[in-house]
């Protein structure tokens, strides 16, 4: 792994997104609308609000035509969500990431997952209607990384950020903690991208 990381630092950056990223059938020839929203909310096993932490570029030697294989991966910090709980840290291969997304560290996304694969990734600032329809969150992670299912714990607020209409906080100058285990919340910010 260290060798791969060292090789990546000497190589040209990998293309980190896919101009033809896979989309679910409901979006193949149609824009995201009420029908697509309903289908995705039904098909997704997990719907999560997550903040982009970083992009990791790894370069592996291979016998392919180029002599190497680039595997950019995006790391997300999952804060809360609906349906089945998702992992605290989510890694998505660049193959699944559309080039239409603004992929700056600190950006928030609503991610529809089916198992380990994303069905659709939507910028949080475009998700206010989605958040209203989804309603109150069904699970969230504490700053220390503990999964909380509010309906199973007495005296725990339904949301660490207020009501479901209060979208995730974010500001343009936020930085992500380089030490997520330092007791601080690497995604803790103020503001609201989905308003």
Q: How far apart are CA 108 and CA 150, in angstroms?
A: 22
> For residue 11, is pLDDT > 50?
no
CB count, 10 Å around CB of 77? Answer: 23
What's the whole-model pTM score?
0.69
The pLDDT of residue 72: 82
Q: How far apart are CA 107 and CA 173, in angstroms?
A: 11
Q: What is the average per-residue pLDDT within 127-138?
A: 96
Percent of the chain with pLDDT over 70: 63
Q: Where are the domains of the chain?
A: 21-54+74-88+96-152
Confidence bin at 143 (pLDDT 50/70/90) = very high
Q: What is the average per-residue pLDDT within 50-68?
A: 70
Decide: residue 169, CB within 10 A, 0-12 exposed, 13-18 middle, 19+ buried. middle
> For residue 77, is pLDDT > 70?
yes
């Amino acid at each position: 792994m260290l060798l791969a990381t060292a090789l990546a630092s000497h190589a040209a950056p990998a293309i980190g997104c896919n101009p033809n990223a896979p989309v679910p059938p409901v979006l193949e020839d149609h824009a995201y609308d009420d029908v697509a929203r309903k289908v995705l909310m039904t098909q997704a096993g997990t719907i999560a609000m997550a903040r982009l932490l970083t992009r990791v570029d790894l370069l592996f030697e291979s016998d392919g035509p180029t002599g190497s294989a680039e595997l950019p991966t995006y790391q997300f910090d999952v804060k809360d969500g609906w349906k089945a709980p998702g992992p605290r840290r989510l890694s998505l291969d660049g193959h699944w990431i559309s080039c239409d997304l603004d992929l700056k560290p600190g950006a928030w996304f609503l991610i529809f997952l089916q198992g380990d694969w994303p069905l659709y990734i939507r910028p949080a600032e475009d998700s206010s209607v989605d958040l209203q329809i989804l309603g109150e969150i069904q699970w969230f992670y504490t700053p220390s990384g503990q999964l909380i299912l509010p309906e199973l714990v007495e005296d725990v607020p339904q949301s660490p950020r207020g009501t479901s209409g209060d979208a995730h906080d974010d500001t343009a100058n936020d930085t992500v903690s380089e030490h997520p285990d330092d007791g601080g919340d690497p995604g803790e910010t103020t503001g609201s991208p989905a308003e």
